């Protein structure tokens, strides 16, 4: 058996051919494909405005620049990739880490408690962890009740929906982001996007994406003005060509992921391996996470990781609590009361989950996992 990683991109012949066409066109960087990709994302996720950018991290940074001020307090989750809360630090705002629920997503009831305790909190950055939608009813309640900005980090969740609300549609948030890193559902190599329904926010982001530079029709043809301190977070036509081709296959890719999740759910039913959540139609399954109570077993989490690696299976830990990272500890974080996250960190890891994971490979993963755990 060849090595089975936890995640992997899928590049088809059409993907390759269409990128080659762009490589021989007049545009390599910002050209028509960027707009085309943005339009396709607008259609796909039901948001009014989409800005494609160079990475998911760039998307989060731009949102933080546009929505936050220095010293603003922002509620966020410890269960994410570093980029989510780093983007709050980039603008010298202050993350507040709140515990998660059993499904890995931030606990909005605890967020509400915090908002009641501290009305100066300016925003919530939630993450649709593993591909599971943030609870939209609770999000709506928070948005309607409190004067806060809401950002949905949907880096894991393109294609997910709950009660016909699509990830990225921003029905109950100010903005969402996607990542198109190769382990995600669709890839542009590096790449990301911001979605929003606010014209004002979109226009601000558009300027920040390209150096804070403005060019208007009443200017002389060679003129441009820098209005703000922006960045070069542009994505290229080459990347967007790949993105367009990948996007056309997204639904079938999610169907496959759901089928794989159902296969795992079935294999683990009534065993010592507990899925973080079983199929409920709300996840587009970037990750399939399982919980194992290692305290009841002889094998440790580290041994399991290494033994599976020896047998050509790559599992992964999503995530080490961000607030416990050395850099965050140096800022005074790390002692928050997050019992669910602490337990999650002891017990959970992600199994291989990607479009081209064959039935045979899934069977091998399941069989080997039981063998190693029961050895």
Chain positions contacting ligand PLP, by CB under 6 A:
55-57, 80-81, 83-84, 127, 153, 155-156, 179, 181, 192
Residue 214 backbone dihedrals phi, psi, to 5 degrees: -125, 140
Helices and strands, counts by H and E, the chain: 13, 14
159 or 361: whose CB is closer to ligand PLP?
Answer: 159
Angstrom distance (rounded) from CA 318 to CA 126: 16
Q: How far is the CB of 73 from ligand PLP (least distance, A)?
A: 20
184 or 291: whose CB is closer to ligand PLP?
Answer: 184
Residue whose structure tokens are 């990781």:
305
179: closest CA among 64, 275, 61? 61
339: CB partners within 8 A, 6+ apart: 99
189 or 366: whose CB is closer to ligand PLP?
Answer: 189
Angstrom distance (rounded) from CA 293 to CA 88: 34
Tell me the Cα Rg of the chain: 21
Q: How far is the CB of 276 from ligand PLP (least distance, A)?
A: 15
343: CB partners within 8 A, 6+ apart: none
57 or 323: whose CB is closer to ligand PLP?
Answer: 57
7: CB partners within 8 A, 6+ apart: 182, 183, 184, 286, 287, 316, 350, 352, 353, 354
Q: How far is the CB of 116 from ligand PLP (least distance, A)?
A: 27
Q: How far is the CB of 312 from ligand PLP (least distance, A)?
A: 24
Q: How far is the CB of 249 from ligand PLP (least distance, A)?
A: 19
Q: How far is the CB of 52 from ligand PLP (least distance, A)?
A: 12
DSSP secondary structure letters along 17-66: HHHHHHHTSS-SSSSHHHHHHHHHHHHHHT-SEEEEES-HHHHHHHHHHH
Q: How far is the CB of 194 from ligand PLP (least distance, A)?
A: 12
Residue 272 backbone dihedrals phi, psi, to 5 degrees: -75, -10
Angstrom distance (rounded) from CA 169 to CA 275: 28
108: CB partners within 8 A, 6+ apart: 126, 134, 135, 138, 139, 141, 142
155 or 315: whose CB is closer to ligand PLP?
Answer: 155
4 or 52: whose CB is closer to ligand PLP?
Answer: 52
Angle in degrees, 0-180, between the axes of helices 56-67 and 83-90, rounded to the nearest 10: 40
8 Å CB contact between 111 and 142: yes
179 or 241: whose CB is closer to ligand PLP?
Answer: 179
Q: How far is the CB of 340 from ligand PLP (least distance, A)?
A: 18
Q: How far is the CB of 146 from ligand PLP (least distance, A)?
A: 23
Q: How far is the CB of 128 from ligand PLP (least distance, A)?
A: 8
134 or 292: whose CB is closer to ligand PLP?
Answer: 134
Q: Strand 94-97 to strand 165-166: parallel, antiparallel, or no bridges (unpaired)?
A: unpaired
Q: Name the closest residue to ligand PLP (Cβ).
A: 56
Q: Strand 121-127 to strand 73-76: parallel, antiparallel, or no bridges (unpaired)?
A: parallel
Angstrom distance (rounded) from CA 355 to CA 353: 7
Adjacent-strand bridge partners of 151? 125, 175
268 or 349: whose CB is closer to ligand PLP?
Answer: 349
76 or 362: whose CB is closer to ligand PLP?
Answer: 76
């Amino acid at each position: 058996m060849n090595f089975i990683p936890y995640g992997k991109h899928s590049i088809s012949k059409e993907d390759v051919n269409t990128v080659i066409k762009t490589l021989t066109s007049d545009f390599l960087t910002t050209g028509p494909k960027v707009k085309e990709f943005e339009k396709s994302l607008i259609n796909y996720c039901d948001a009014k405005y989409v800005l494609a950018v160079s990475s998911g991290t760039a998307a989060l940074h731009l949102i933080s620049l546009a929505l936050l001020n220095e010293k603003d307090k922002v509620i966020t989750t410890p269960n994410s990739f570093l980029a989510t809360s780093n983007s709050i630090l980039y603008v010298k705002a202050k993350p507040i880490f709140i515990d998660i629920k059993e499904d890995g997503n931030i606990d909005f009831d605890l967020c509400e408690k915090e908002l009641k305790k501290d009305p100066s909190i300016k925003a919530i950055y939630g993450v649709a962890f593993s591909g599971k939608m943030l609870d939209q009813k609770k999000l709506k309640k928070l948005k309607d009740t409190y004067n806060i900005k809401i950002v949905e980090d949907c880096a894991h969740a393109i294609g997910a929906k709950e009660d016909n609300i699509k990830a990225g549609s921003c029905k109950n948030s100010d903005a969402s982001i996607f990542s198109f890193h190769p382990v995600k559902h669709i890839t542009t190599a590096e790449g990301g996007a911001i979605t929003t329904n606010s014209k004002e926010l979109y226009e601000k982001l558009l300027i920040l994406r390209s150096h804070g530079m403005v060019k208007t029709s009443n200017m002389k043809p060679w003129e441009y003005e820098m209005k703000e301190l922006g960045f070069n977070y542009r994505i290229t036509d080459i990347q967007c060509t790949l993105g367009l081709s990948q996007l056309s296959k997204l639904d079938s890719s999610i169907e496959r992921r759901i089928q794989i999740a159902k296969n795992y759910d079935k294999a683990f039913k009534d065993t010592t391996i507990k899925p973080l959540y079983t199929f409920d139609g709300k996840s587009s399954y970037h990750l399939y996470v399982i919980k194992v109570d290692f305290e009841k077993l002889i094998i440790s989490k580290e041994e399991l990781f290494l033994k599976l690696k020896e047998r050509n299976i790559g599992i992964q830990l999503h995530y080490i609590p961000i607030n416990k990272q050395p850099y965050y500890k140096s800022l005074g974080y790390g002692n928050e009361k997050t019992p669910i996250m602490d337990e999650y960190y002891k017990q959970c890891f992600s199994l291989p989950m990607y479009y081209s994971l064959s039935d045979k490979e899934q069977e091998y993963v399941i069989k080997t996992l039981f063998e190693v755990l029961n050895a």
